[in-house]
Structure 1
Amino acid sequence: MTIFFLIRHGEPQWDINEKYKLKGHGRDLVPLTPNGIQQVYEASKDDRLKKAQIILSSPYTRALQTAAILSKQLNIEVQVEFDLREWQPDLSFQFDTLEQLKELGDDFDKHKGIYPEGETRLWESSLMMKTRIESVMNRYLNFEYVIIAGHGMIFRTQYQIDEIPHAYIIELKKKKL
């Protein structure tokens, strides 16, 4: 049995996106706010995390910064896993405004993350996200305790919760295959 500690990144500094007019995945380069940094330092004090043997991280800045703080505080190595990236609202990588992001997110929510029969959408489906994160977790079932620094939407494919607060820890048990 492996216990995964899914930790959503700290609060990100989203206003950078508008300031620099970032587009597509450029919007995922934002760092944590000072409050977000503090959130992660507080989360790092959780005694459960002291058992962890490795930290896995999404490649996005906000998750990497979260993983770096956890690594520093817990003295655990970080492994970046590309498939831990956040939900992709636009698989064409072209969205560039908050309005477009909201429209894509609203459509995702309207359809509960499932493409309508016979249709596709720009956004990544829940099943696509679930498959990605599970493939990563399955590669680490040889560990007893694993921290994953990542994102709310992808974690919601593993744990039924509507909104995951920043730096929140979800404990998830997974049996070896």
Structure 2
Amino acid sequence: MKIVFVRHSEPDYSMLDQAVNPDAYAGFGRDLAPLTENGRMLAEKAAQDARLAQVQVVISSSITRALETATYIVRHQDKLLLVEPFFHEWRPDLDGLNYTAATVEKAYQLFWENKGQLPADSPVRYETAAQVRERFLKALEKYRHYDSVAIVCHGMLIRQFFDQEKIQYCELIEVEV
């Protein structure tokens, strides 16, 4: 299967940060953020990429920044949009504790220091690289009848299939899976 991965566009967390109770939007609450104005422009530009014309369907993570990015693609390319909840972002908090931003940053640092593995003595429990890849591949099975798909998702997930340290907002990466 040919996959055109599209990293979501630039999110705008300012509304969540300015909420009456910003702590209520820790953890998965951060995933409610829409795109910035620049993010919408990036998504509009990416939607015109010729590589997207060849895909049969656009499959998006259910997280707002990916869904909003995908809407630009399906509108411009006139494609069907499917939403896949298991194409979500890497989970820095497997215990559901809604870690603080500092703890999430520590989990991210540990993830990279340990090459995607979780040491037994880790102070935080995060999703390993192998778990991200396994989650994605299991969810991908239901789309195997397509020859070519666009998947709008997240950098950490894309990195499990494409060895590149930094993936830009709205960057398109083609892979065979």
TM-score, scaled relative to structure 2:
0.91
1:144-171 Cα offsets, whole Å, 9 max, x none, are 2100010000110111110100000000
1:25: which partner in 2?
A: 28
Long gaps (5+) in structure 1: none
Q: Say whether the 8 Å CA contact 2:48–2:73 is kept in structure 1.
A: no
Contact 2:66 2:152 in 1 (8 A): yes
Q: Which runs of no fewer than 5 residues in structure 2 stay unpaired?
A: none
Show the counterpart of 1:173. 176
Question: How many Å separate the matches in 2 of 1:153 and 1:17?
Answer: 22
1:26 corresponds to which letter in structure 2? G
Q: How far has the Cα of 1:107 moved from its partner?
A: 1.4
2:31/2:64 contact within 8 Å kept: yes
**2:118·2:126 contact (CA, 8 Å) conserved in 1?**
no
Please tell me whether residue 40 in structure 1 is matched to residue 43 in structure 2.
yes
8 A contact 2:4–2:174 mirrored in 1: yes
The alignment's C-alpha RMSD in Å is: 1.5
Structure 1 runs of 4+ aligned residues shifted over 3 Å read 118-121
1:60 — aligned with what? Answer: 63
- Give the drift of 1:49: 0.5
Contact 1:86/1:154 (<8 A) preserved: yes
Is 1:114 aligned to residue 117 of structure 2? yes
1:35 alignment partner, SS class: helix
Identity within the alignment, % = 30
Contact kept, 8 Å, 1:25 with 1:93, in 2: the verdict is no
- Contact in 1 for aligned 2:61/2:153 (Cα 8 Å): yes
Q: After the TM superposition, which of the residue ranges 34-43 and 92-101 deviates more from structure 2?
A: 92-101
* Residue in structure 2 matched with residue 105 of structure 1 by the alignment: 108
Aligned residues: 172
Aligned to 2:9: 10
CA distance in 1, matches of 2:54, 2:47: 12
Q: Write the distance in 2 (CA, Å) between the matches of 1:93 and 1:75.
A: 38
Q: What amino acid sits opposite 1:133 in the alignment?
A: F
Task: Give matches, 1:63-102, under 5 Å.
Answer: 63-102=66-105
CA drift of 1:98 comes to 2.1
Give the match's secondary structure for 1:136: helix
